[in-house]
């Protein structure tokens, strides 16, 4: 049995847990990170790619932005494609110079792990947390099981950064939390391909046959998504079918081809909107996907998770170093205001870009898209939310 004592036990080494561990260490607050997967697994898990303006600046300020600035791709605009035409939303022009950075989530995860391990910190990989106790008492206890040992951690606070389906929210009586949820009648099939992107900016496409997104990771790696029925499985999508469908949905007369190449990774993700509140239950603080999920169309999930951590780290530091609990008391309300704004934006982008079986709905979607590309006011709201929702 490994018996540990720390100030903050962090469950989960995704972007949220790792950034929290880093910020607390910078302020001298002792913490332990527990992750059920291996280091290799979390470093290879392909997910998000768009980092907001304010979040990228924050990462740089706190010493995590070096490689992101060097290797991340800075974008000043994004394209909306519908009715076989392309419209550019000039993000920087509409937001007084703000940009987005395209940088793979797993690269940020690698940077955060290297920083922590590089200066003597530890992460308990391959340890699955099974139970949280004492959340309303004087001390919390985290229990888990590793490959060899059982682990028990006594702590002042537990940060539940364990993503959706994690253990943190299950440790709280159901009556203490409210869950708001919506599911959508489609999933995203995502691929990472060894192929030079044929576009410099991201393209969000609404085609009669479904949604498609053209993104990238580097000048030689493309990241592409297709909206598919929620019942589809990967076996139903051969490489040929994927490329054919991407070409149908993404190309126009001016941009006739999607570059093809070997597919290095593929997955299907269901689309959900979830908010679990409050984000604090006694000694448990929830952050990131553990307390809210957005459908990926607005590129908000990771940004929202990192935005929570910015608030949470300051609150824990004020409490643990100065005995000032006010920020911690306000944590949930402070975050939820921004969380609901992100839910609204992600829902707006999702519903506007995924064609429906309902003809009336399709008319509304196309009217919204036309408004977004023809009126400066609508384009400005879209650009501000897309570039910097967490910094507004």
Site residues for ligand FAD per CB under 6 A: 11-17, 34-37, 42, 47-50, 105, 128-129, 161-163, 166-167, 188, 190, 269, 288-289, 296, 299-303, 305
Q: Give catalytic status of residue 219 as yes or no.
A: no
In whole angstroms, the minimum distance from the beta carbon of 105 to ligand FAD comes to 5
Asked if 22 contacts 120 with a C-beta cutoff of 8 angstroms, the reply is no
Which one of ligand FAD, ligand DHB, none interacts with residue 153, CB within 5 to 8 A by kind?
none
Residue closer to ligand FAD (CB basis): 324 or 336:
336
Q: Is 49 in the site for ligand DHB (CB under 6 A)?
A: yes
Q: Is 302 in the site for ligand DHB (CB under 6 A)?
A: no
Which one of ligand FAD, ligand DHB, none interacts with residue 128, CB within 5 to 8 A by kind?
ligand FAD
Asked if 230 contacts 188 with a C-beta cutoff of 8 angstroms, the reply is no
Can you tell me the distance from the alpha carbon of 329 to that of 324, in angstroms, rounded to the nearest whole number? 10
Q: Is 215 in the site for ligand DHB (CB under 6 A)?
A: yes
Catalytic-role residue among 15, 22, 75, 197: 75
Instruction: Say which residue the tokens 């009126």 belong to.
Output: 375
In whole angstroms, the minimum distance from the beta carbon of 148 to ligand DHB comes to 36
Size of the residue set binding ligand DHB (CB under 6 A): 10
Q: Is 297 in the site for ligand DHB (CB under 6 A)?
A: yes
Which one of ligand DHB, ligand FAD, none interacts with residue 269, CB within 5 to 8 A by kind?
ligand FAD
For the chain, give the secondary structure using H, E and C.
Answer: CEEEEEEEEEECCCHHHHHHHHHHHHCCCCEEEECCCCHHHHHHCCCCCEECHHHHHHHHHCCCCHHHHHHCEEECCEEEEECCEEEEECHHHHCCCCCEEECCHHHHHHHHHHHHHHCCCCEECCCEEEEEECCCCCCEEEEEECCCCEEEEEEEEEEECCCCCCCCHHHCCHHHCEEEEEEEEEEEEEEEECCCCCCCCCEEEEECCEEEEEEEEECCEEEEEEEECCCCCHHHCCHHHHHHHHHHHHCCCCCCCCCCCCEEEEEEEEEEEEEEECCEECCEEECHHHCEECCHHHCCHHHHHHHHHHHHHHHHHHHHHHCCCHHHHHHHHHHHHHHHHHHHHHHHHHHHHCCCCCHHHHHHHHHHHHHHHHCHHHHHHHHHHHHHHHHC
Catalytic-role residue among 204, 214, 225, 331: 204
Binding to ligand DHB (CB under 6 A) within 190-209 occurs at 202
Q: Is 296 in the site for ligand DHB (CB under 6 A)?
A: yes
Which one of ligand FAD, ligand DHB, none interacts with residue 81, CB within 5 to 8 A by kind?
none
Residue closer to ligand DHB (CB basis): 127 or 349:
349
Which one of ligand FAD, ligand DHB, none interacts with residue 15, CB within 5 to 8 A by kind?
ligand FAD
Catalytic-role residue among 103, 225, 331, 386: 386
Q: Is 50 in the site for ligand DHB (CB under 6 A)?
A: yes
* Interacting span for ligand DHB (CB under 6 A) from 6-14, 122-130, 226-234, 295-303: 295-303
Phi and psi at residue 281, to the nearest 5°:
-130, 95
Q: Is 158 in the site for ligand DHB (CB under 6 A)?
A: no
In whole angstroms, the minimum distance from the beta carbon of 299 to ligand FAD comes to 4
Q: Give catalytic status of residue 197 as yes or no.
A: no
Q: Which long-range contacts (CB under 8 A, 24 or more apart) does 139-147 make?
A: 139/283, 140/9, 140/282, 140/283, 140/284, 142/9, 142/11, 142/34, 144/34, 144/36, 146/2
Q: Give catalytic status of residue 75 as yes or no.
A: yes
Catalytic-role residue among 22, 98, 207, 300: 300
Which one of ligand DHB, ligand FAD, none interacts with residue 42, CB within 5 to 8 A by kind?
ligand FAD
Residue closer to ligand FAD (CB basis): 55 or 258:
55
Q: Is 187 in the site for ligand DHB (CB under 6 A)?
A: no
The residue number whose beta carbon is nearest to ligand DHB equals 49
Residues near ligand DHB (CB under 6 A): 48-50, 202, 213, 215, 223, 296-297, 299
- The catalytic residue positions are 75, 204, 296, 300, 386
């Amino acid at each position: 049995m490994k018996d540990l004592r720390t100030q903050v036990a962090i469950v989960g080494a995704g972007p949220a847990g790792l950034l929290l561990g880093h910020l607390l260490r910078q302020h001298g607050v002792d913490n332990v990170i527990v992750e059920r997967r291996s280091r290799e697994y979390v470093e290879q898990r392909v997910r998000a790619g768009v980092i907001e303006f304010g979040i990228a600046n924050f990462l740089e300020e706190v010493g995590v932005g070096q490689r992101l600035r060097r290797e991340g791709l800075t974008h000043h605009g994004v394209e909306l494609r519908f009715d076989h035409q392309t419209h550019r939303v000039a993000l920087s022009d509409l937001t007084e110079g703000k940009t987005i950075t395209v940088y793979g989530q797993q690269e940020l995860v690698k940077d955060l792990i290297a920083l922590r391990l590089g200066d003597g910190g530890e992460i308990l990989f391959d340890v699955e947390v099974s139970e949280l106790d004492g959340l309303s008492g004087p001390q919390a206890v985290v229990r888990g099981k590793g490959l060899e040992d059982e682990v028990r951690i006594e702590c002042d606070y537990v940060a539940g950064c364990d993503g959706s389906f994690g253990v943190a929210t299950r440790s709280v009586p159901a009556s203490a939390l409210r869950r708001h949820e919506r599911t959508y009648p489609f999933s995203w099939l995502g691929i990472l391909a060894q192929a030079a992107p044929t576009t410099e900016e991201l393209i969000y496409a609404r085609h009669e046959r479904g949604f498609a997104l053209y993104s990238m990771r580097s000048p030689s790696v493309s990241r592409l998504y297709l909206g598919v029925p929620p019942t589809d499985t990967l076996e139903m999508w051969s490489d040929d079918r994927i490329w054919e469908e991407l070409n149908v949905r993404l190309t126009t007369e001016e941009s006739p081809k999607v570059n093809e190449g070997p597919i290095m990774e593929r997955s299907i993700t269901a689309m959900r909107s979830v908010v679990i509140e409050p984000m604090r239950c006694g000694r448990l603080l929830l952050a990131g996907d553990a307390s809210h999920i957005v459908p990926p169309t607005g590129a908000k999930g990771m940004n929202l998770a990192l935005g929570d951590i910015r608030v949470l780290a300051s609150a824990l530091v004020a409490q643990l170093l100065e005995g000032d609990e006010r920020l911690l008391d306000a944590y949930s309300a402070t975050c939820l205001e921004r969380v609901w704004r992100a839910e609204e934006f992600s829902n707006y982008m999702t519903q506007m870009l995924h064609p429906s079986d309902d003809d009336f709905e399709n008319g509304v979607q196309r009217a919204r898209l036309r408004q977004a590309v023809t009126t400066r006011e609508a384009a400005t709201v879209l650009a501000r939310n897309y570039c910097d929702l967490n910094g507004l």
